[in-house]
Amino acid sequence: MSASERIETRIHLASRNAKKLAEMERILATHLPGASVVGLDDVPAYDEPVEDEPTFEGNALLKARAGFAATGLPSVADDSGLCVDALNGMPGVLSARWSGPPKSDERNNRLLLDQLADVPDERRTAYFTCAVAFVHAGGELVVHGRMDGTVVREVRGSGGFGYDVLFVADDHPGLTTAELSREDKDAISHRGKALRELAPLLARQLGSAG
């Protein structure tokens, strides 16, 4: 079955983030036009693993394996974060919970600004990185994506999520990734790059299994 043929299937994304679910469905649609993406709130509840791995890949695999074991659906999970050069790569794998529980984008962004308050503009370089894991009956695989840029000094924009309001990508200077259109962000984002790499592999795996 070619990637362009319609594949009727459901894919589980181990996330409750509505924007992340929509982003994945948009990007996968080119290669899997018949696929629908269902999140954690769309499947029976199961025990979600503690994200205690030291790497993005390890955490992504934990979540994808748990999703597949609980639902029986081909499962995708990602772990991503912002790595700031002046902070020795922090917040890194702790990005979502950097300011402590409960998770709060607003508190995380405020903490980041405080940590970088005295750092000059030329040293505010950073990058978003992402590992996306896919687990299904035929095995598992992981792909990666990266987006380089700079952390600005004030919150800007209402799109995206997480640290998007403070990050200007090198590939789209002048605007934070929270100010970009969905299409522009998808084209350059770390998750967009990873999902575009994953989509044809996923289509091939599901097609050969069908």
Residue 76 near residue 198 (C-beta atoms within 8 A): yes
In a domain, 4, yes or no: no
Distance CA 31, CA 97 (A): 33
Using CA of residue 171, residue 111, residue 87, residue 102, what is the dihedral sign?
negative
Distance CA 155, CA 176 (A): 9
Residue 79 annotated as catalytic = yes
Residue 83 near residue 127 (C-beta atoms within 8 A): yes
In a domain, 129, yes or no: yes
Q: Is the pTM of this model over 0.85?
A: yes
In a domain, 31, yes or no: yes
Retrieve residue 174's tokens: 């002048």
Predicted confidence at residue 3, as pLDDT, reads: 40
Predicted confidence at residue 8, as pLDDT, reads: 56
In a domain, 160, yes or no: yes
In a domain, 1, yes or no: no
In a domain, 55, yes or no: yes
Q: Which amino acid is it at 111?
A: L
15 is in an annotated binding site: yes
Using only the alpha carbons of the chain, give its radius of gyration: 17
35 is in an annotated binding site: no
161 is in an annotated binding site: yes
162 is in an annotated binding site: yes
CATH number, domain with residue 198: 3.90.950.10
Distance CA 164, CA 145 (A): 16
Distance CA 119, CA 92 (A): 18
Q: At what angle do helices 190-209 and 18-28 cross, to 10 degrees?
A: 60
Q: How many distinct structural domains can be found in the chain?
A: 1
Distance CA 183, CA 66 (A): 31
Residues whose CB falls within 8 Å of the CB of residue 111, separated by 6 or more in sequence, listed in order: 98, 99
Closest CA to 161 of 101, 82, 52, 89: 82
4 is in an annotated binding site: no
Question: Of 41, 42, 47, 79, which residue is the catalytic one?
Answer: 79
Predicted confidence at residue 111, as pLDDT, reads: 98
Tell me which residues of the chain have a pLDDT lower than 70: 1-8, 207-210
Residue 147 near residue 163 (C-beta atoms within 8 A): no
In a domain, 91, yes or no: yes
For residue 138, give its domain range: 9-209
Residue 52 carries which DSSP code?
-
